[in-house]
Chains A and B, each alone.
Chain A
Amino acid sequence: ETGVTQSPTHLIKTRGQQVTLRCSSQSGHNTVSWYQQALGQGPQFIFQYYREEENGRGNFPPRFSGLQFPNYSSELNVNALELDDSALYLCASSPDRGTNSPLHFGNGTRLTVT
């Protein structure tokens, strides 16, 4: 069983640029969530996709956007990067949207904005 994989593992961008992060869900999982983890803090919910539709969103501005594809892989796009966007971005997949569905996390993409 293949777990959640994210790419790239590390990325350095300049303020104002745009970035796309990618996530492959665990086999059989139709729900993908994205989290931002700033250094020394717990992850914060960005949004969730269920069967290619955005299913909910945390307190993040519209310049954070996403996609989910028919194979349930996903992308996180961030426009107009700011220094505070520097963080570890975690993707998590689950078999469905329910509360008790376990989230399976990838190892994350470390984004540095200079």
Chain B
Amino acid sequence: GNSVTQMEGPVTLSEEAFLTINCTYTATGYPSLFWYVQYPGEGLQLLLKATKADDKGSNKGFEATYRKETTSFHLEKGSVQVSDSAVYFCALSDVGSSGSARQLTFGSGTQLTVLP
């Protein structure tokens, strides 16, 4: 079945540091890939997505490139801010075992804390 493996956290960085959160996936089909962010007490918000190999998703200074050859979708940001502190989830979307619903399979999440 499909699975997503994320870099274990928590990750603590100083403001303006470079961020990388690793994500690799296993899928039988051709999934779309996503990064979601969850702020304390809130639901998940879509951060960025990529729908096919070599696509680069970007938003709010975050980037991730869909690498089919390494089955990876690592999240990067050149200069993090305190407001980026949150939990980040890598996810893939594909047809599940039920055969019809397009479902998201999530990684376990990476807690990021950015210190001023």
Contacts and interface: CB of A to CB of B under 8 A. Distances in A.
Interface stretch (A13-21, A39-47, A61-69, A72-80): A39-47
A86 interface: no
Majority-rule SS of A interface residues: loop
B70 interface: no
Contact of A105 (B44, B93, B97): B44
A56 B4 CA distance: 20
A30 interface: no
Contacts, number: 80
A105 B47 CA distance: 12
Nearest to A88: B43
A45 B95 CA distance: 12
B99 interface: yes
A58 B96 contact: yes
Contacts of B96: 45, 56, 58
B20 interface: no
A24 interface: no
